Amino acid sequence: MSQPVRSLGRASAPAGARPGRPPQPPADEATALRRRAQSRRARREALFGYAMVASALLVVVVFTVVPIVASFVLALFKWDGISSPQFVGLDNFDALVGDKAVTHSLLVTSGLAVLIVFLQVALGLGLALMVAQRASKIVQNLFRAAFFLPMLASAASISIVMAYVFNDQFGVINYYLGLLHLPEVSWLSSTGGATATIVLVAVWQQLGFTFILFVAALASLPGDVLEAAQIDGASSARLFWRIKLPLISPTVLFASTVGLINTMQLFDQPYVMTKGGPGDSTYTTVLLVYQTAFQNLQFGYASAISVLLFAVLLVITAVQFTASRKWVFYS
Amino acid sequence: MTAVLGKQSAPPVPRPRRRFTIGRLLSLAVLTVAAVLVVAPLVWALATSLRTPATSFDQPPQWIPTHPIWSNYQAVFDKVPLTKFFLNSTLVTGLIVLGQLITSTMSGYAFAMVRFRGNKALFGIILATMMVPIQTTIIPVFLIIRYLGLTDSRMALVLPVVGGAFGTFLMRQYFLQMPRELGEAARVDGASHFQVFARIYAPMARAPMATLAVLTFSAYWNEFFRPLIFLQSTDKFTLPLGLVTLQGTMGTGSISIVLAGVIIALIPSVLIFLAAQRYFVEGIVAGSFR
């Protein structure tokens, strides 16, 4: 196969056309040998490549790619996980539309997520700004360690601690509110209180993440531009809104995207602190998926909710990136 | 990336001398208050874990225990098989970190340095899964685990995450910056492809491997969702699951013992953070400059 093709190519090229390369008509066999050796080497390299990526690829395919597809398929079935699954077509999705628990959980989740992400980004950026321009290296590291500390604990055990701290009757927070002659708050037993507690605990634990991101982004700002603006007499507020914020806007986008995706999966805190209550005020979508699948044993319906959550996450990411073209500045 | 380059090319501009202004003092005060508020709940947990269980709810809270009751730390081992939880967490997290290091280093190297058909497409598949949260695929993963007969086993926690998108991505980024000439020279001298990887390139990748190890550790040491779903027998519980169970049985009775458990679970993470602060920060920042 390859022999005639090559000779055709040779025939169409005028002999001696390429300068610096003397024509070698008798070396045909040598070239063929060399090429064969080369292709053998390439094949070996390729085999080596496949072997090297095999393990990671296998894990990703079996435990992420296949499950994504399987979620869509499972959502078409009614199945308790024990008896044989029953094909029901799009019935699960039909039921989804009218299911108040699902709509409610999505509203709760997105409300919590927006609050948490907004506070995380605003507080993280504010604290990073203060640290970046003012403090010495040692003080900076001290603050960094302090803000980072909660991230080292598991959200579950943090929630155990916080359930006591925010306890309505004998919690520390209400004790200090009392000392300040402020009204005590029913943190975990009222709708608003429970929402506030979940938000505060999540912001408190994740603050270190956005803080570190913004400290790094601010450290990489071009010093000469800032100096020039300062010499021109720009106020620090102007400096921030007109120069610093546009320059770190990619970091703002990154922090809010990652934050939203993470908080849309909120589970540990409501599971440990409120069990979704009081009422269903902190009943997040993942909590609903967990209970539908693993307590009510409705695997098909739970998969349909997962697919919906997955779609919502995709839409959020897409919208964020589309909208970001308007405000994110890439130098 | 461009921002980093910009910093390097900028000439060193002498900063104006820092002066004590009201603004400076104010921001230092705000920072200090914020830091105190952030650390306070953990200090409270530590202090309360040293109170007698009967007085653990007494107000005002005792921030510095006058008579620390160390026996709470003994008691938590008596109430629950905490040693077992600790060993389970260590085993599970250790195997995950080890697996991630091996598979990510190999695949990251291959995607960056080895020519094979489908290189880009396969990497694309891996990268695309980076945005897929485990919560949305947990039901099929649970069914696969059940099909493999691994329900209620520690391997159920390990196997699905011994290789992943983030690790592969991180290692690939690192190997892309490595010179190819080193390996080519070794190849001419007769080294095999695998020897080039194992003897030359992998040992140079210690820094990103440490980053990956630290981030993987902190993610899985603290994991709660998957253990809750995959495990049933108490003797296989990891620390977060064990502690939440312990808290459930203690109710609102004495909390000092529960908090002692929380503090014990926190210690390894804090030690690793202190030893590898640089890698925590590097890893988080590396993820953001895509």
Best-predicted range by mean pLDDT (A40-44, B79-83, B99-103): B99-103
Q: In this complex, do A161 and B45 lie within 8 Å of one another by their Cβ atoms?
A: yes
Least Cα separation, residue B72 to chain A (angstroms): 16
B contact test, residue of A39, A58, A119, A164 with most B CBs within 10 A: A164
Size of interface A-B (CB pairs under 8 A): 295
pLDDT class for A17, splitting at 50, 70, 90? very low
pLDDT class for B248, splitting at 50, 70, 90? confident
Q: In this complex, do B59 and A261 lie within 8 Å of one another by their Cβ atoms?
A: no
Q: In this complex, do A160 and B262 lie within 8 Å of one another by their Cβ atoms?
A: yes
What is the rounded average pLDDT of the residues B136-148?
Answer: 94
Q: Closest to B288 (Cβ–Cβ): which among A213, A271, A302?
A: A213
Question: Which one, of A290, A320, A270, A31, lies nearest residue A155 by Cα?
Answer: A270
Within 10 Å of residue A21's Cβ, how many Cβ atoms? 8
* Residue A12, pLDDT score: 42
Q: Closest to A306 (Cβ–Cβ): which among B136, B241, B258?
A: B136
The answer for residues whose C-beta is within 8 angstroms of residue B56's C-beta and 6 or more apart is: B48, B254, B255, B256, B259
B contact test, residue of A52, A211, A249 with most B CBs within 10 A: A52
The four Cα atoms B270, B220, A252, A264 give a dihedral, to 10 degrees, of: -130
Residue of chain A with shortest Cα separation from B144: A63
**Distance of alpha carbon A212 from alpha carbon A302, whole angstroms:** 37
**Distance of alpha carbon A177 from alpha carbon A257, whole angstroms:** 35
For residue A270, the SS3 value is: helix
Q: Closest to B35 (Cβ–Cβ): which among A146, A162, A268?
A: A146
pTM exceeding the 0.95 threshold for the entire prediction: no
- All residues of chain A having their beta carbon less than 8 Å from the beta carbon of residue B114 are 45-46, 48-49, 52
Whether residue A60 contacts residue B164, with contact meaning beta carbons closer than 8 Å, is answered with: yes
- All residues of chain B having their beta carbon less than 8 Å from the beta carbon of residue A165 are 41, 44
Q: In this complex, do B139 and A302 lie within 8 Å of one another by their Cβ atoms?
A: yes
Question: Residues B192-232: pLDDT tens digits?
Answer: 999 999 999 999 999 999 999 999 999 999 999 999 999 99
User: Is A273 an interface residue toward B (CB < 8 Å)?
Assistant: no
**Distance of alpha carbon B156 from alpha carbon B178, whole angstroms:** 36
Question: Residues A165-199: pLDDT tens digits?
Answer: 998 888 889 999 988 988 888 898 899 999 999 99
The ipTM assigned to this model is 0.85
Q: Compute chain A's Rg from CA coordinates.
A: 30
Q: In this complex, do A55 and B102 lie within 8 Å of one another by their Cβ atoms?
A: yes
Q: In this complex, do A65 and B131 lie within 8 Å of one another by their Cβ atoms?
A: no
- All residues of chain B having their beta carbon less than 8 Å from the beta carbon of residue A264 are 133
Q: Which residue has the higher pLDDT, A132 or A144?
A: A144
* Amino acid, single-letter form, for residue A330: Y
**Distance of alpha carbon B21 from alpha carbon A236, whole angstroms:** 14
pLDDT class for B15, splitting at 50, 70, 90? low
Question: Residues A94-106: pLDDT tens digits?
Answer: 999 889 999 999 9
Q: In this complex, do A146 and B131 lie within 8 Å of one another by their Cβ atoms?
A: no
